[in-house]
Amino acid sequence: QAMIDEMTALDSNHTWVLIPPPPGKSIVGCQWVFNVKVGHDGQVDRLQARLVAKGYTQVYGLDYNDTFSPVAKMASVHLFLAMAAMRHWPLFQLDIKNAFLHGDLKEEIYMEQPQGFGD
């Protein structure tokens, strides 16, 4: 069920378009990564499956160029938390499901379909 949920999320986000592999282009493989999510009480909350590209097969300059991941510096996080504590600001936490799917790629990447999930 976790794999079906992942494929549904990827499909609903229009992550890809199914096309025949173009001649001369690198095709990136994929694999499943599984995780068990545990709740606050230590009980299994849900099983999670992520479909990941085997990016290590790509060649820099041919298949992709620069990579970047926007992450806050820890000093900035510490400053913000200190200010929140001093000013008694309420703090909240949230999780954006599949947030990594909302970025745009400059390059076209061709990835094989996972086994068991044909057209």
Q: Can you give the length of the chain in residues?
A: 119
pTM for the predicted model, two decimal places? 0.61
Token pair for residue 95? 């999780």
How many angstroms from the chain centroid is the CA of residue 45?
Answer: 20
Which residues make Cβ contacts (< 8 Å) with residue 117, sequence separation at least 6? 7
As a 3-state breakdown, the chain gives helix, strand, coil percent values, each rounded to 5, of 25, 20, 55
What's the pLDDT at 78? Answer: 96
pLDDT digits (tens, 9 = 90+) for 44-71: 888 999 998 888 877 787 777 777 677 8
What phi and psi, each to the nearest 5 degrees, are found at residue 78?
Answer: -60, -40
What is the SS3 assignment for 74?
Answer: helix
Q: How high is the pLDDT of residue 99? A: 66
CB count, 10 Å around CB of 109? 15
Rg, Å, the chain Cα set: 19
Q: Would you say residue 13 has pLDDT above 70?
A: yes
